Structure 1
């Protein structure tokens, strides 16, 4: 069984009508002619009934399809189509309310007419908006008044529906003004902005006219399936065949996981040892707005473009360069960035676990701390099935590294799982077995309530010394299973940030028309706690720059809740919990004036200050002043860190970006562990634990 947090939130699955599939090579239509209304097909009706029945019988989460759920489907569908409430009028919603209590019966009977009526109205409103925007550009962007004191509400999810056409067009005008001002402040001339926007909206109109019945059906069915949980999704036949919703660009791409969010392509995670990781610039949460081929290629605007089309532009031949224009996550300074990335394949050997040693303390108190960085839970299934004796896997590599570190006389071991998005359940199970003599490692509860425990297949304990597991918000799935087992067995301290919280299992079920991915089971720790939603809570926590509202299972709509079952029998080690208060106190004292930890705290405060804004200034002078204030504050945070370390101060943020560019070609594991403040502090905590002279080999064999 393989699993990973690389998924797309169905609520964000396709948020606008022009982000849907069009037939490849289809001739351009007459954009002046209104397209025909879309209608459902018999195959779609049958598929919808099949999906209802499959979810009723096989889904982990049980949902009664009744009047109450009908209202939820109705709201979910409207939210999928118009989450920011920029298209539908209040009169549209009033008209649609007749379906609010009957969508449950309609789905059971395969009646898709209500869904298509709503979608066709949405397509009409979408076209009205695009044509309005094109008219604004045609009339001249110089007519936009950037001296006027007005703002744009950017988070309208809870706002009232637009009451009339005048209010609707005022919102669209402000949205246009925001787009133009953003580009203007990124040094684009007005002529170029006008050309770019004309091309953007013309392309959106063309995609809108190419919308097919299949696209409407898929949006509607996913508005229903997402009520079960974020990972339950319907794929139309063409999507199932041609479109990998997980969007991992590991094959001659950039090594990033992408999803659609509103009009943008958003980075969800970076594949360890991939091209983007080596470039060292692209980060989770960044929004890609442009793609260029080669160092000197022209930047192509991708705002409003379908996700599969953006992926097609990013993919390419190994060794070639793709440049991405992005709105950086957490930058909040109004400045876009351009990141060049050399395409390549992600090699298994580059993703493999690596070792290092950090020395902590001096004289008699000096401790040699072994570090093992595990970027993913991998296994070369093909080589293993072929019977090759030296096939690569996480457990095999870590076993070898432990023996090498033991020859170097290490005093303790840190397992670094930061940014490890998961992988093979088999490897998580076997890796746990390296650090315990025997026993269960994880419990799986299926949709029928049946419980099965996975067990350590090898009774031999490879390493029995002091140990810490380091995690962060991007540690997910298999990482959480391993960290949870280490915490439950009291085998290791867990330090870092709260993990992702992905604790469910999905399977693919073929249909008469497309396929359904549904959640069929849930993971539990041996203590009975689930890893779902809450993730792993560290024994000692570090400041995190990841916003839990944006990253993590709990950020997803209808994520299954945290829950507990009865613990299974397991033999825990002597408790570590009694040592935590003393270790926490020493950690707090050590990091109170630590420049790197102070930096993380201030960076987090900076992001909270600006990322929580619900509106933006449309007055150019005020917006410019805001951006200057943001950049000055960000520069001050960077220079405070550099000053504390006796390093030369940056004159501006451009110098920082130039330095980041110079680090291209390095993966995270290439960087010196001694320069990693988080890793150094983790080693200090482990050294403190060792100094308390805890006899780690002695065990309390009480039942867990």
Structure 2
């Protein structure tokens, strides 16, 4: 007989018996956490909304229950270091049961799993704190041991002995990493004891609210990575972030195993201006002010790390960061950032003029950089005729550039994470006479089309759009429309691939952010997952194996719907082979592009490393070889540009402050040396200008 066909009282009895059994072990959990009545009611509301309102028609059944079990276990123990195989075997009894529980607001299965995790983690930290002095003292770094870096497909520890050995190797790696940064043994021991003691203290302060947050987010992640449950506290932080009133560094963060990882930087925010923090970097320590003591934040809750980084504008915060491409803690940098508010005027579109020398004359190319698709809703509601918007600002800058002699225009959407859909449509309208710009498909299969409904004046000259991996959402709608209309050349890197739309629904307890629709281009292709593929690709600064929709679990797939009638303006497609050929010939001698390509090859090698040596001599040689290669590549670039070669890189000073400062001791923004990507995009646009002199006559596509 299947469990879900049992009478309700039998089902409850089974659930409570299993919950009790999962919480029983050699070291008794003093107070297993239990769900509250309001959490039970909220769980039922979440289930109902997910089934009825989410874009994916996914019912909560035995298959979903199995996915939830796997997602929740992965949420708690992604590195497979705390649970034992025996725990995982025991949890399988819940595999087809969690759906039945949740529909009735029962949370016992999820709480039972968490309480077992809590027990394993508490035991592990207590044991580590007690044994750490002897472990650190007795580590032999001449042995040829290796630590597996990615354990996603590895088995769970078969028993306590196997778990002990895995944990020992992880600690040995951390001790070796710190040793390679120059830390003395006593300082290493002090740091690690403090780290594990802080982790233990935070674990012991866990509440039922934490468990509910983890469990509901595991459930929502089964549907897609952008559907989230926000507890009341997280809801408050979300509202602060959305209002852009947060006084901090302007970075979106997430938990990644024991680390706090940078997801993206807010355009024109303090971290973005500073130029040293990047997506996929991991923050390992935070210090208040320029001279404050660092607090190690490995293993901290995300909201606690956010609280530590947040602070009044004008104050400074220092971050110790492991760069995205680094595999271990010995490669780190220290960044000083001045906190500030992110202001609308600082996120506004900006212009510049680039001069391209071609055939004995200077061709002026106007560039409009748009960091976000913004709209001052408050001023618009007030009826202010001068309200700010990305489209209005772009139109003004476009007219100014044309008046100054620009013969072509580049719209720079690099690092533009999106914003107002209405603005993406309006901006497209500056470059087409009329027509649809995006299709929005809802869960019930109804398709809504947005675009420019009335013909009006538009810029019809040479146009290019520059994108990169961090160009997302509204940026992808604009770039996709320009490409589909063959209105301009799209240059850069494959974009992020976020082609879904979310809405916020209030709950009895917290909020639910739920994916309700999906974006499609006028060609019928989704922008989801695959993003926009540029006509001409540049070397990628961001590693697409670490950044982008395709890296997220349960990301919705790329697909197509029927195309919508639209004109094409120029025959750009037929010219792409020629433009690529001229681009490749030009950049083969460009030191900046060669440097980027060589760096990418080096990053690929690092990414393919599956294990990390725990032998000190091997690790020192690997580190030194890497630094020599980086210095060689940088000096090769500098010599080709007529610059003095360096004797060492900043990264060679692991604990040195790396924030850029001017002669007056003030922090500088990003370097103002010519942007090689923008310069090359200007050359490509000039190469393509002949195409724009031959408009197509109302050629239609369906």
Pair 417,279 (structure 1): closer, same or farther in 2 beyond 3 Å: same
Q: In the alignment, what sits opposite 2:604?
A: 608
Q: Which segment drifts farther, 350-359 or 184-193?
A: 184-193
Question: Aligned ranges for residues 96-135 of structure 1 at < 5 Å?
Answer: 96-135=91-130
Q: In the alignment, what sits opposite 1:651?
A: 647
Pair 245,33 (structure 1): closer, same or farther in 2 beyond 3 Å: farther
Q: In the alignment, what sits opposite 2:13?
A: none
Q: 2:431 aligns with which of 435, 440, 444?
A: 435
Can you list the C-alpha shifts for 1:539-595, whole angstroms capped at 9, x where unaligned? 111111322121001110000001111111222213211111111111111112221
Can you list the C-alpha shifts for 1:82-128, whole angstroms capped at 9, x where unaligned? 11110111111111211112222222232322212111111110011
Can you list the C-alpha shifts for 1:646-676, whole angstroms capped at 9, x where unaligned? 21111111289888724785555x835xx11
1:338 is paired with a residue of what secondary structure? Answer: strand
Question: Aligned ranges for residues 284-363 of structure 1 at < 5 Å?
Answer: 284-331=279-326, 334-363=330-359
Checking the alignment, whether the CA contact within 8 Å between 1:290 and 1:299 is kept in structure 2 is: yes
Q: 2:547 aligns with which of 551, 558, 562?
A: 551
Q: 1:695 aligns with which of 677, 687, 693?
A: 693
Q: Which segment drifts farther, 540-549 or 135-144?
A: 135-144
2:567 is paired with a residue of what secondary structure? Answer: coil
Q: 2:153 aligns with which of 145, 158, 167?
A: 158
Checking the alignment, whether the CA contact within 8 Å between 2:541 and 2:596 is kept in structure 1 is: yes
Checking the alignment, whether the CA contact within 8 Å between 1:442 and 1:455 is kept in structure 2 is: yes
Q: In the alignment, what sits opposite 1:178?
A: 173
Structure possessing the higher relative contact order (Cα contacts under 8 Å, 6 or more residues apart) = 1
How far did 1:613 drift? Answer: 2.2
Can you list the C-alpha shifts for 1:452-478, whole angstroms capped at 9, x where unaligned? 111215632331101010100000011
How far did 1:394 drift? Answer: 0.6
Could you state the TM-score of these two structures normalised by the residue count of structure 2?
0.91
Can you list the C-alpha shifts for 1:279-300, whole angstroms capped at 9, x where unaligned? 2211111111111111111111
Q: In the alignment, what sits opposite 1:273?
A: 268
Q: Does 1:263 align with 2:258?
A: yes
Pair 665,410 (structure 1): closer, same or farther in 2 beyond 3 Å: farther
Q: Which segment drifts farther, 103-112 or 113-122?
A: 103-112
Can you list the C-alpha shifts for 1:332-391, whole angstroms capped at 9, x where unaligned? 583211111111122222211111111212455532111111111111111221122222
Q: In the alignment, what sits opposite 2:535?
A: 539
Pair 510,350 (structure 1): closer, same or farther in 2 beyond 3 Å: closer
Checking the alignment, whether the CA contact within 8 Å between 2:461 and 2:692 is kept in structure 1 is: no
Structure 1 gap ranges (5+): 1-31
Report the count of equivalent residues: 669
Checking the alignment, whether the CA contact within 8 Å between 2:659 and 2:667 is kept in structure 1 is: no
Can you list the C-alpha shifts for 1:473-519, whole angstroms capped at 9, x where unaligned? 00001100110110111111101100000111111122223221110
Q: In the alignment, what sits opposite 2:14?
A: none
Q: 2:383 aligns with which of 364, 380, 387?
A: 387
Pair 58,254 (structure 1): closer, same or farther in 2 beyond 3 Å: same
Aligned mates of 1:375, 1:579 — CA distance in 2: 29
Could you state the TM-score of these two structures normalised by the residue count of structure 1?
0.91
Q: Does 1:683 align with 2:682?
A: yes
Q: In the alignment, what sits opposite 2:630?
A: 634
Checking the alignment, whether the CA contact within 8 Å between 2:44 and 2:104 is kept in structure 1 is: yes
Aligned mates of 1:559, 1:83 — CA distance in 2: 18
Q: In the alignment, what sits opposite 2:225?
A: 230
Q: Does 1:598 align with 2:597?
A: no
Pair 339,500 (structure 1): closer, same or farther in 2 beyond 3 Å: same
Aligned mates of 1:248, 1:593 — CA distance in 2: 46
Q: In the alignment, what sits opposite 2:16?
A: none
1:445 is paired with a residue of what secondary structure? Answer: strand
Q: Does 1:201 align with 2:196?
A: yes
Pair 341,660 (structure 1): closer, same or farther in 2 beyond 3 Å: closer
Aligned mates of 1:296, 1:310 — CA distance in 2: 19
Checking the alignment, whether the CA contact within 8 Å between 2:334 and 2:659 is kept in structure 1 is: no
Pair 335,132 (structure 1): closer, same or farther in 2 beyond 3 Å: same
Q: In the alignment, what sits opposite 2:213?
A: 218
How far did 1:695 drift? Answer: 1.9
Q: CA RMSD in A?
A: 2.2
1:593 is paired with a residue of what secondary structure? Answer: coil
How far did 1:33 drift? Answer: 9.6
How far did 1:165 drift? Answer: 0.8
Q: Does 1:416 align with 2:412?
A: yes
Pair 36,512 (structure 1): closer, same or farther in 2 beyond 3 Å: same
Question: Aligned ranges for residues 61-80 of structure 1 at < 5 Å?
Answer: 61-80=56-75
Q: In the alignment, what sits opposite 1:5?
A: none
Aligned mates of 1:596, 1:550 — CA distance in 2: 23
Q: In the alignment, what sits opposite 1:8?
A: none
Q: Does 1:513 align with 2:478?
A: no
1:702 is paired with a residue of what secondary structure? Answer: strand
Q: Does 1:49 align with 2:41?
A: no
Q: In the alignment, what sits opposite 1:671?
A: 672
Aligned mates of 1:293, 1:594 — CA distance in 2: 42
Aligned mates of 2:355, 2:234 — CA distance in 1: 52
Aligned mates of 1:238, 1:298 — CA distance in 2: 27
Aligned mates of 2:675, 2:34 — CA distance in 1: 58
Aligned mates of 1:120, 1:33 — CA distance in 2: 11
Checking the alignment, whether the CA contact within 8 Å between 2:627 and 2:652 is kept in structure 1 is: no
Pair 305,486 (structure 1): closer, same or farther in 2 beyond 3 Å: same
How far did 1:212 drift? Answer: 1.3
Checking the alignment, whether the CA contact within 8 Å between 1:243 and 1:308 is kept in structure 2 is: no
Question: Aligned ranges for residues 232-247 of structure 1 at < 5 Å?
Answer: 232-242=227-237
Aligned mates of 1:667, 1:487 — CA distance in 2: 33
2:637 is paired with a residue of what secondary structure? Answer: helix
Q: Which segment drifts farther, 163-172 or 189-198?
A: 189-198
Aligned mates of 2:691, 2:521 — CA distance in 1: 29
Checking the alignment, whether the CA contact within 8 Å between 1:534 and 1:562 is kept in structure 2 is: yes
Q: In the alignment, what sits opposite 1:3?
A: none
Q: In the alignment, what sits opposite 2:520?
A: 524
Aligned mates of 1:91, 1:352 — CA distance in 2: 56
Question: Aligned ranges for residues 364-403 of structure 1 at < 5 Å?
Answer: 365-403=361-399
Aligned mates of 2:392, 2:310 — CA distance in 1: 32
